[in-house]
Amino acid sequence: MRIYAAAVAAVSPRGVMAQALTGTIPGAEPVPAIVSKARGVRLLAIGKAALGMAAEAEHLLGERIIEGLVIAPADTPTDAGAAPLRSRVMVAAHPLPDESSIAAARAALELAARAQPGELVMLALSGGASALIAAPAGAVTLDDKVTISAGLMRAGANIRELNTVRKHLSAIKGGRLLAATAEGVEVLSLVLSDVPGNDLATIGSGPTAADPTTYIDAVGVLKRRRLWGRAPEAIRDHLERGAAGEFSETVKPGDAALTRVTNVIVGDNRMAVNAAAQAAAALGYQVEGARELDGEADELGSALARHLSEISADRVCVVTGGEPVVTVKGDGRGGRAQQSALSFAIEMASLAGGPPNTKKVIAKVMAMFAGTDGIDGPTDAAGAIATSETIARAAEAHIDPDTALSRNDAYEFFKALGDLIIIGPTGTNVADIFVALVNY
């Protein structure tokens, strides 16, 4: 937990915002000059880290901020900003949008449209923004968007697939927030990335970034995930008409509006993983990496268990990060971190308990899979801790791990063992991390 805490602290919203506004992180060198030349700043903070990012911007920029709007989830820690904000704060829904998300999107577009030539719109963007601001396009309704978003999540769609569809059903995503600003208005987006690889078009569905995907791509995602025939008629109609050229596309690379925007990544998963590695080294562990947390959680957990089983040195810490996916097939509760942890525990037990000629000498292993935001799926847990003894303990408690895995019920499995990580929302979000300690 000390290693995990170090990872979360490294991507604290106020810390990364301070470094960005003073130009002290790679890529942010032009930021102070961009801010100083503006006649005034209109601040727009959206996401799980919005309160903290906005608080630091207010602290450093003071009266230079003409107006501010903060859009955050209801469960954002109340101390995330440390002091009362001068900016207007709106609470919106996550992970699925509701009417509050529509109101928030409308307010964001209005702020962008109010900016005058010579002014700067500063967007502080973090994970969760896609759900927090919803502006359904054309005849598409909010219920339509919720239905298709929920369907994509259940089908195991990754964040890029999900946002490809979202952007083409939206009047604010895919660069459309940038397009809402007038000529002569500069836009600066300071982005705390929750997307592996830091694809600007994917983070928050890219409200100020070029979008290389198309309506045709969005149709392809729904067909590939076998949702096209079950999608609401209004969504199929909108995407088909968009693909036929009846609706304008999202902002594409080369668009003139992109000359007025500077997008800067201020923090990401790699920053958190590096901090975790430094904390582990300070505790006397030899630090190793592993494959990125991607792909199906069931396969990922097993692969990481096999990786650890090959380690023969003592006091080794394996650290990595990313964002696995879960294709929901059962009716249980859990999230991608908990599902990964359960798969990991099952594989560890299998490796240690096979036939004599295939058994491995398994070290004492303790591992955690956790979201840096403190929330894993629709649960109150950040993730779970799994050890080389988890399955044996489950057997003593008459809990069937294979049934829990197939039902996507990892939450109840780890709850019964007392191995959930419940710390509440952290106020930041850079996807997930995995930390394993190996001791002989």
SS (H, E, C) the chain: CHHHHHHHHHCCHHHHHHHHHCCCCCCCCCHHHHHHHCCCEEEEEECCCHHHHHHHHHHHHHHHEEEEEEEEECCCCCCCCCCCCCCEEEEECCCCCCHHHHHHHHHHHHHHHHCCCCCEEEEEEECCHHHHCCCECCCCCHHHHHHHHHHHHHCCCCHHHHHHHHHCCECCCCCHHHHCCCCCCEEEEEEECCCCCCCCCCHHHCCCCCCCCCHHHHHHHHHHCCCHHHCCHHHHHHHHHHHCCCCCCCCCCCCHHHHHEEEEEEECHHHHHHHHHHHHHHCCCEEECCCCECCEHHHHHHHHHHHHHCCCCCCEEEEEEECCECCCCCCCCCCHHHHHHHHHHHHHHHHHCCCCCCCCCCCEEEEEEEECCCCCCCCCCCEEEEECCHHHHHHHCCCCHHHHHHCCCHHHHHHHHCCEECCCCCCCCCCEEEEEEEEC
Task: Tell whether the model's pLDDT for residue 412 goes beyond 60.
Answer: yes
Range of the domain at 29: 2-135+170-213+250-267
According to the model, what pLDDT value does residue 279 have? 98
Mean pLDDT of 53-80: 90
Residues 14, 128 share a domain = yes
Task: Give strand pairing partners of 136.
Answer: 170
Residues 263, 200 share a domain = yes
According to the model, what pLDDT value does residue 354 have? 56
Q: Is the pTM of this model over 0.95?
A: no
Residues 428, 355 share a domain = yes
Q: How far apart are CA 106 and CA 19, in angstroms?
A: 30
According to the model, what pLDDT value does residue 312 have? 87
Mean pLDDT of 24-50: 97
Task: Tell whether the model's pLDDT for residue 360 goes beyond 70.
Answer: no
Mean pLDDT of 260-277: 98
Task: Tell whether the model's pLDDT for residue 181 goes beyond 90.
Answer: yes
Residues 295, 406 share a domain = yes
Residues 306, 280 share a domain = yes
Residue 409 confidence class, pLDDT cut points 50, 70, 90? very high
Does residue 362 fall inside a structural domain? yes
Number of folded domains in the chain? 2
| Mean confidence (pLDDT) of the chain | 94
Does residue 165 fall inside a structural domain? no
Task: Tell whether the model's pLDDT for residue 407 goes beyond 50.
Answer: yes
Residues 312, 427 share a domain = yes
Q: What is the domain-level CATH number for residue 334?
A: 3.40.1480.10
Q: Which residue has the higher pLDDT, 95 or 390?
A: 390
Residues 256, 283 share a domain = no
Q: What pLDDT digit, counting tens, does each position of 213-251 carry?
A: 999 999 999 999 999 999 999 999 999 999 999 999 999
Residue 358 confidence class, pLDDT cut points 50, 70, 90? very low
Residues 262, 293 share a domain = no
Task: Tell whether the model's pLDDT for residue 357 goes beyond 60.
Answer: no
